[in-house]
Amino acid sequence: MPCPCGSGHTLADCCGPFLAGTAAPPTAEALMRSRYTAFTQGAVDYLRTTWHSSTRPHEIAADPAPTWIGLKILTTKAGGPEATEGWVEFVARYRIGRRSFRLHERSHFVREDGVWRYVDGVLDPLR
């Protein structure tokens, strides 16, 4: 099965180990891709675990309405294997019923306890 994140790899060789908890994403982009995959799979526990403690919502509920149909990474800034902070700008496409939508966000990530966590994002960032 291809990984929903669009990497071109299989789910087992890409985001699957992250969602299963057997590996940690090495970069901010890898975390972004795995969080997108978690949305496609309804893996709310993973989303909660990968959210930074300072901004993590008390509850996260799966939303069955969207059908996620694609992820495109636009830019990354910092966020490499040795970094402590990074940003990933992306567009995620989804459908609700017969209507198509796009989510354009510039997400902010930091390391917390040695692993990447999602902090927050700016929707429709200006370039």
Give residue-wise pLDDT tens across range 3-18.
999 999 999 999 999 9
5-21 as b/e: b if 16+ CB within 10 A: bbbeeebeebbbebbee
Give residue-wise pLDDT tens across range 35-71.
999 999 999 999 999 999 999 998 888 787 899 999 9
Q: Which two tokens stand for residue 95?
A: 């459908």
Residue type (1 letter), 72: K
pTM of the full structure: 0.95
30-67 as b/e: b if 16+ CB within 10 A: bbbbbbbbbbbbebeebbeebbbeeebeeeeeeeeebe
